[in-house]
Structure formats: structure tokens, C-alpha cells
A and B are shown apart, each in its own frame.
Chain A
Amino acid sequence: MASPELVEIALLVNGEEHRLEVDTRASLLDVLRERLGLTGGKKGCDHGQCGACTILLDGRRANACLALAVAHDDCEIVTIEGLAHPLQDAFVERDAFQCGYCTPGQICSAVGMLLELELGWPSHATADVAAEPTLGHDEIRERMSGNICRCGAYPNIVAAIEDVAS
């Protein structure tokens, strides 16, 4: 077995720079959680399928479990701990969770999704991809399909997002 490759990197997380030595194999999710104590983002599937680890990378939503920490030392990283967004109140107001495990990922994903909508990006639910999308339940559900909630709080998650978007 080859020995681990360790690399010194600087990560910019929630506006703060952290210098640390990481194994090249370490995911951004593991470094955020285990080394920096930012345990908001969760490890669900560790394969990019559940969305519980969603963070914002240079302002765009991404799965932290599939991002290698060593490959993102020049990015601006925002985790749920660094967010102050109306969506957080809306999730409480709408009771958009039960156990809460997926919630940080849901909120980070929704923040990224609303930015995509502002930019006029179409989705699979957009009838005419050449046209400006209009927000509705189908659009929200399609755009949030990368975030799974095993408690099934989807109706309230959609409602919370719709409150903030409108």
C-alpha cells in the first residue's frame, strides 16, 4: 500500500481562511466536518446522491462529498454555518423538516437554486428551454431533486422555498 500523500492547503470558508495539511483523498465534506468543526453539512450517502452535504462553491451549490479538499483551495466556500438567509426562517415557519438531518443541505441547495433561477436558467420542468422559466411547484420540485428527505417533508420544503421566492 502506497503511503498517504499530504498537502498543505488554505481553505476559504465562510469568509475565514484556514491553513491545514490534508490527505489528497480527503473530501471537502470530511475536512469541513472533522477538521474545521463545521458539522452542519451532513454525510448521507457519500456518493453525491442524497444532497445532505450540499454547500456553495464560488456561489454555486455542490456536493461536498464528491469534492476533493485539495482541489478547492482557491474557491470561496460557504456552509450552512455561514449563511444568514430568509430561507432559514421560512423552513422554521413552514415546519419544513422532521429529523433535520437533510435540512442544512436542503437550505444550501435552495439558496443555490434561487440564484440559478434569478439567472434565468431553465430546468427539466421548463416547457420551453429557450424561454425564461417561471417558478411553480413543478419547477421547485425538479430543481430540488438532488436533495432527499427521508422524513418526507417535501410539501413543506416546497412551500418554504416558494414563500421566499415570491
Chain B
Amino acid sequence: MRPFRYERATDAASALAGIAAPGATFLGGGTNLVDLMRLGVETPAVLVDVTRLPFCEIEDTDAGGLRIGAGVRNSDLAADPRVRTRFPALAEALLAGASGQLRNRATTGGNLLQRTRCPYFQDVTAVCNKREPGSGCSAREGEHRNHAILGWSEQCVATHPSDMAVPLAAFDAVVHVTGPDGERALPVEGFHRLPGAEPQRDTVLAPDELVVAVELPPLPAAARSTYRKVRERASFEFALVSVAAGLDIADGCVRQVRVALGGVAHKPWRAHTAEAALHGVPATEQSFRAAADAELAQAQPLRDNAWKIDLARDVLVRTLVELAG
């Protein structure tokens, strides 16, 4: 591991002062960053530890939603009674990720900013446009069974690994950030980006900006929501495909629906096409299947992962059927 200087920030101002140094990176729980440093993928010159910043609370908002501090640990967020009752898919997604030990360290901000687990990205001897822009993509014609089926580019076919971000994208969550030019509020859906020609950029966050909170607006469909994750082991494994969905039904018809897919794209994939197809229609398996077909009509399989399209369709339908039942 390359030597680095360690600094501990105590407030946003000292964190922003620290990050201004060349090669500086914020350190949260370290569950992904320290691992990537050990692998030689990340080589910061300075680590600015932001875990002591006063952003570790979950607060009710005046609007009836929740404001989650960036430093709130994944385990605390999943255990919060308000999350478990008002946004159950978020608690379920957090609990479907990592292990008990890792959830105790990983933070809300860090979870959003974790990097892809594409094996070529993590292997410094392989070419990877995300790690070394312009070097090529080993996965495009290589081992890509688990890679993207939606929104990928010739430069990068990696998927976003977060479970937590999938319900956040479905529920219109907003990321609050602060930087040298002031504060910004970015919808989670627009926070992560598709790879395009710049796969080195996972998000629209500037290198000197700090995530301070994630805000969940009040959402009736979220109260009846769930997260279904399909993976190759029963526990402690990343998603092949996952679905976060919330459904509000009135008189047998869909009044409000929110759907996002995980494990299928460079970002959590908000299923707008499926949502539009479902608005106001009878809450039946037939409707759900038509909506899933409409969403996945835009999917583009790689050589070896067309099976993920079928899997995504089935998991989406099954999840909505379960919520409607």
C-alpha cells in the first residue's frame, strides 16, 4: 500500500479543507476503500477521516420523510424503526448486503460511493477504463456473465454493487452534498451515472464535494415495499439481479408504484417505463408482466449474460405479485 497522511475532520469545514490537498480522499467506514488500497486500485496521498463529523443522526423531516446523516452506519439505518415501518425495502436492502461486521462499519455516504466489484477493475494487472481511462475494457469480451444488461457503453460494462442505493433510487431519495462552492441537492437517480465515455466517474459528485445526508421524501408506496435479491449464495454475496419495489393499490388498481433494479447497470436502474405502464391499471400478474416486458425491451445483453434479462423480468414480476397479494 502506498504511504498516506491521515487526518481526522471534526466538521464539514475541516473536511473540505483537508480534501483540498492533492491526492486526498474521504475515509468513511473503510470497508471498500481500505480494501481497494490494499489491492493497489486506490492510491490516495491523504485520507480525510469523516466518521467523526456530526452527520450520524436519522431525523424526521417536516414533510414527513427522513433525513439520514451520511455517517449513519448501515446497521443502524437497517435497525431504525421508522425505516423498518415506513421504508421496509430500504431496511431489507441493507440487510441483504455484506455481513454483520461490515454493516457495523459501512456508512450511508460510503455505501453510495462504493466502487464496482468488476474483477477486472479490482485487478491492477488487467486493463480497465474505469481504473485507467483509455486503457480498454477487459470485461467487454471477457468474463462478463454478471455484468450490465442496461445502459452500458463500449468503454465499460460494470454494474453498481450497492443494495441500499436501489430502494433509494426507487423512492426518489435526494443526496445532500457540500463543497467549496456551497451546497447541492441531487436526486439519487441523477447522482450515479451511466458509464458513457467516462466510466472513471461513478457519480456526478466533484472530487472536493462531501456527502452530508440522504433525504427520503414521504411516499405512500414505500410503506408497502420490499427488496428481492437474487444471488449465487444465500448470504454475503452481491446481486445478480435485485428489485426494490413499492406498491399502493386502490380498488384493485395501481395508484402509485415505484420500481428500481440492481445488478443490471452502472447505476441503480429506476424502471420508469414499467412504472408508467402500471399507473392506474389493474394490479394483476398480467399487468406486471407487460410492464416488465416494456422496461426490459431496452436491455442489450452482452455475449454471455442474456439470461439476466429473463431473470430481471421474472424477479420484477414476482416482486410485484407478492406486494399485490
Interface residues of A (CB under 8 A from B): 1-5, 7, 23-25, 27, 46-49, 51, 54, 57, 60-63, 66-68, 70-71, 109, 112-113, 116, 119-124, 126, 129-130, 141-147
The interface residues of chain B lying within 8 Å CB-to-CB of A7 are 6
B236 in contact (CB, < 8 A): yes
Q: How far is the CB of B110 from chain A (nearest CB, A)?
A: 12
Question: How many angstroms between the C-alpha atoms of A121 and B236 in the bound complex?
Answer: 17
0/1 string, B115-145, CB within 8 A of A gives 1: 0000000000000000000000000000000
Q: Could you say which of B58-66, B95-103, B208-216, B286-294 contacts chain A? A: B95-103
The interface residues of chain A lying within 8 Å CB-to-CB of B3 are 1-5, 23-25
Q: Are A67 and B30 in contact (CB under 8 A)?
A: yes
Interface residues of B (CB under 8 A from A): 1-6, 8, 27, 30-31, 34-35, 37-38, 45, 47, 49, 51, 75, 78-79, 81, 84-85, 88, 91-92, 95-96, 98-102, 104-105, 234-236
The interface residues of chain B lying within 8 Å CB-to-CB of A121 are 75, 78-79
The interface residues of chain A lying within 8 Å CB-to-CB of B100 are 61, 109, 112-113, 116, 123, 143-146
Q: Are B105 and A63 in contact (CB under 8 A)?
A: yes
A-B contact pairs, 25 of them (CB 8 A): A1-B3, A5-B3, A25-B4, A25-B37, A27-B34, A49-B236, A51-B101, A57-B104, A60-B75, A61-B100, A62-B104, A66-B31, A67-B105, A71-B8, A71-B49, A112-B100, A116-B75, A120-B79, A121-B79, A122-B79, A124-B235, A129-B78, A130-B88, A145-B234, A146-B100
Q: Are A5 and B101 in contact (CB under 8 A)?
A: no
Question: How many angstroms between the C-alpha atoms of A4 and B5 in the bound complex?
Answer: 9
The interface residues of chain B lying within 8 Å CB-to-CB of A109 are 100-101
| A-B CB pair tally, cutoff 8 Å | 123
Question: How many angstroms between the C-alpha atoms of A130 and B90 in the bound complex?
Answer: 12
Question: How many angstroms between the C-alpha atoms of A120 and B76 in the bound complex?
Answer: 11
Q: Are B5 and A5 in contact (CB under 8 A)?
A: yes
Nearest residue (CB) in B for A9 is B6
Q: Are A48 and B31 in contact (CB under 8 A)?
A: yes
The interface residues of chain B lying within 8 Å CB-to-CB of A142 are 234-235
Nearest residue (CB) in B for A59 is B104
A61 in contact with B6 given A67-B30, A124-B95, A142-B235 (CB within 8 Å): no
Q: Are B91 and A122 in contact (CB under 8 A)?
A: yes
The interface residues of chain A lying within 8 Å CB-to-CB of B75 are 60, 116, 121
Contact for B104 among A24, A60, A144, A147, CB less than 8 A: A60
Q: Are B104 and A61 in contact (CB under 8 A)?
A: yes
Question: How many angstroms between the C-alpha atoms of A63 and B29 in the bound complex?
Answer: 11
Q: Are B91 and A129 in contact (CB under 8 A)?
A: yes
Question: How many angstroms between the C-alpha atoms of A68 and B56 in the bound complex?
Answer: 20
A119 in contact with B79 given A51-B99, A145-B99 (CB within 8 Å): yes
Question: How many angstroms between the C-alpha atoms of A121 and B98 in the bound complex?
Answer: 16
Q: How far is the CB of B105 from chain A (nearest CB, A)?
A: 5
Contact for A68 among B2, B34, B102, B104, CB less than 8 A: B34
Shortest 6 CB-CB contacts between residues of A and residues of B: A146-B99, A145-B235, A121-B79, A145-B236, A24-B6, A124-B95
The interface residues of chain B lying within 8 Å CB-to-CB of A1 are 2-3
A66 in contact with B4 given A61-B104, A121-B78, A122-B78 (CB within 8 Å): no
Q: Are A47 and B38 in contact (CB under 8 A)?
A: yes
Q: Are A62 and B79 in contact (CB under 8 A)?
A: no
The interface residues of chain A lying within 8 Å CB-to-CB of B30 are 66-68, 71
Q: How far is the CB of A119 from chain B (nearest CB, A)?
A: 7
